[in-house]
Amino acid sequence: MRASETSLPGVIVLDVDEHADARGSVREVYRKDRFQPAVEFVQDNVAISVRGALRGLHYRVAPQAKLVMVVEGAIFDVAVDVRRDSPTYGHHFATELSAENRRQLFIPAGFAHGYQATTERAVVVYKLTAPFDPADDRAVRWDDPALAIPWPLEHPILSKRDAAAPLLAEQE
């Protein structure tokens, strides 16, 4: 596994090795003693999305980091710095995660996260450092002009909550 820094401090792209032979392949997607930064994950989620589905931009008030990977299909994955005291506040980093490219994205606490499925079906697996708590969950509007995120597909499929999310400047 190779780790690469991104334009946002703490957001890390991980390229996972695959070992293949005539039987198929094996990927080591996480191993605590090799993962840096050292964090403890406490919850794993799987989300299945159809092409065009856009989930996010979500973040938590209490600290929560994520490790995101795709096991089927592909997504356009985005992290947005929502730490008001950060020099990169309001900046985003985006990359394609796919089953084919075996890429993972580590998103530290203090960042909003969202993605859009770019294939007919995308299966996303993510690890969390804190359990989901709906009372602590927040959202930033996916098409906030101040963020200027270049979502790849027009007319996304959104939840009512994501469609009505406030702009970053309107956050608590």
Residue 70: how many other CB atoms lie within 10 Å: 26
The structural domains of the chain, with segments of one domain joined by +, span: 2-20+27-170
Q: Is the confidence at residue 158, as pLDDT, over 90?
A: yes
Q: State the amino acid at position 168 in one-letter form.
A: L
Residue 121: how many other CB atoms lie within 10 Å: 13
Tell me how many degrees the CA angle 101-104-64 measures, rounded to the nearest 5.
Answer: 160
Which residues are 45's β-sheet partners? Answer: 126
How far, in whole angstroms, is CA 141 from its chain's centroid? 15
Average pLDDT over residues 139-156: 98
Q: What is the band of 34 on the pLDDT scale with cuts at 50, 70, 90?
A: confident
| pTM attached to this predicted model | 0.93
Q: Is the confidence at residue 35, as pLDDT, over 90?
A: no
- pLDDT for 75-115, tens place per residue? 999 999 999 999 999 999 999 999 999 999 999 999 999 99
Instruction: Count how many Cα atoms sit within 13 Å of the Cα of residue 34 in the half-sphere of its side chain.
Output: 9
CATH code of 2-20+27-170, in short, is: 2.60.120.10
- pLDDT for 43-80, tens place per residue? 999 999 999 999 999 999 999 999 999 999 999 999 99
The catalytic residue positions are 58, 126
In the chain, at which residue ranges do the beta strands (DSSP E only) sit?
A: 2-5, 12-15, 18-21, 24-27, 43-50, 54-60, 66-72, 74-81, 92-98, 103-107, 111-117, 121-128, 137-139
| Two tokens, residue 127 | 């690890």
| Two tokens, residue 169 | 């400047």
